[in-house]
Amino acid sequence: MTDLPFPRGVRDLLPNEALFKAETVGKIESVFRAFGFLTISTPKIESLKILKGKSAIGEDEKLIYELKEEELGLRYDQTVSLARYFIMHNNLPLPFKRYAIGEAWRMDEPQHLRYREFTQADVDIIGGERSLCDAEVVATIASALDALDIKYEVLVNSRVLMEDMLDAFGVPEDKHIEVMRIIDKLDKAGSDGVNQMLEKAGMDSEQRLKVVNFVGAKGTNEEKLKYAKDFAKGSGACDELGNMIELVKKYPIKGELKVDFSIVRGIDYYTGMVFEIRAAEEGAPIQSLCGGGRYDKLIENYGGKSIPAVGGTIGVDRVLDLLKFSYSKRYTFAKAFVAYIRKENYDYALSVANKLRENGINTEINLADRNISNQLSYISSMNIEYAVIVGDIEQKEGKVKLRNMVSGDEEVIGLDVLVQKLK
């Protein structure tokens, strides 16, 4: 067979994988709706002027897929689109809570478990009281992972606190963003790698030591925040972060909250609380699953009014890989398959399938020229739970033979009973 070209950093999903993804997204969406988030829809392409807007993606502008002849690009996340949307639709209720689940693209170098096309599940709140909204976003994202039975930990920090700490360490303000981008690479580069990058950024040995020691601080949340307070005297960011943590604890989430000063998030528009949620299961193939934070200046930077905003996103593809979705055995949403002995039984079989579908039961019917043995083999291969078998006798009596494909039990029943059993 001739090799067909296929782009790097993307993937096809087999039926079992696509089904697993659809059900996973459905569970996430149910949680978002339970928290009262509204759904909106924005285009997958945006103006390059929006995508490259002031204080948007920062150093990662080179990762944008551009349609240069039209000055358009594929969205790299859904937050910038939300900012544009909010400005254009200025009669929205406040606080405005919205969720969005869809694809985004980054022209990144493909790596294991890192894709150029990926699905994000976002929640954002524009307006409202800062700490309450921060806690609501973190708790919503965490609750979605609870619904998926994922073990995780929530790592939180504050960009304001980091700014105050860098000031205390004597780092010039015009170096803050560069230093925070370096700190964001700690989990990949390690302390030595970060130290080398800080040296290249022009920091002296004393400053580098203070930064590396600070971001690697150990202890309880209270001990870490006290440690930060001792350096950044007069900063209210420690109290604000501590208050937010206490608010999140009031939600019935299962994951543990931890202060982690290495969490700063790589995108430039964050201005306050930032968080990352990592898998806590031993041997997890990937750690970082979700992230987000506060971005109070993004809407204003695009020409809108000054208004607080916070959001978070679930990396759906990372969640799927963590859950080993490729090993799922379910290939179809169908709960029942209507099989028939002879072609003359087709019309009756179709009426049975229609009745099941009308009652909300996902049903497939034989559409191929094959005998009953091959039909049953197909049902087994698709892991469909029930075979509904129709022959001359069943057709004459207005009944069906129902076979449980797991237990092998069979019974001849009427259509009303069939509906009740499969419901």
DSSP notation for 292-309: EEE-TTHHHHTTS----E
- Return the pLDDT at 186: 75
More confident residue, 119 or 181: 119
What confidence tens digit (pLDDT) does each residue in 68-115 have? 789 999 999 999 999 999 999 989 999 999 999 999 999 888 887 789
29 touches 330 (CB < 8 A): no
Give the DSSP H or E segment for 255: none
- Return the pLDDT at 177: 82
Among 171-175, 264-268, 398-402, the range scoring the smallest mean pLDDT is: 264-268
- Among 310, 327, 344, the domain-final residue is 327
- Report the binding-site residues: 77-79, 106, 120, 124, 265, 269-270
Q: Is the pLDDT of residue 57 over 60?
A: no
Are residues 383 and 267 both part of a single domain?
Answer: no
Neighbouring residues of 260: CB distance < 8 A, sequence distance ≥ 6: 155, 156, 157, 276
- Among 269, 302, 327, the domain-final residue is 327
Any domain includes 10: no
Closest alpha carbon to 220 in 248, 260, 186: 260
Task: State whether residue 29 is helix, strand or coil.
Answer: helix
158 touches 273 (CB < 8 A): yes
125 touches 136 (CB < 8 A): yes
- Return the pLDDT at 206: 86
What confidence tens digit (pLDDT) does each residue in 360-395 have? 999 999 999 999 999 999 999 999 999 999 999 999
Distance from C-alpha of 234 to C-alpha of 350, rounded to nearest angstrom: 75
Residue 303 belongs to domain spanning? 15-327
* Helix segments in 35-185, DSSP class H: 48-51, 79-88, 130-147, 159-168, 176-183
- Return the pLDDT at 28: 98
Closest alpha carbon to 95 in 315, 409, 311: 311
Neighbouring residues of 408: CB distance < 8 A, sequence distance ≥ 6: none
- Report the binding-site residues for L-histidine: 77-79, 106, 120, 124, 265, 269-270
Task: State whether residue 197 is helix, strand or coil.
Answer: helix
Q: Is the pLDDT of residue 285 over 80?
A: no
What confidence tens digit (pLDDT) does each residue in 335-349 have? 999 999 999 999 999
Any domain includes 350: yes
Are residues 312 and 353 both part of a single domain?
Answer: no
- Return the pLDDT at 54: 54
Predicted TM-score (pTM) above 0.85: yes
141 touches 32 (CB < 8 A): no
Residue matched to tokens 């990372």: 318
- Return the pLDDT at 153: 96
- Among 265, 293, 327, the domain-final residue is 327
- Across 134-143, average pLDDT: 98
Mean of the per-residue pLDDT values of the chain:
91
86 touches 300 (CB < 8 A): no
Q: What's 408's domain CATH number? A: 3.40.50.800
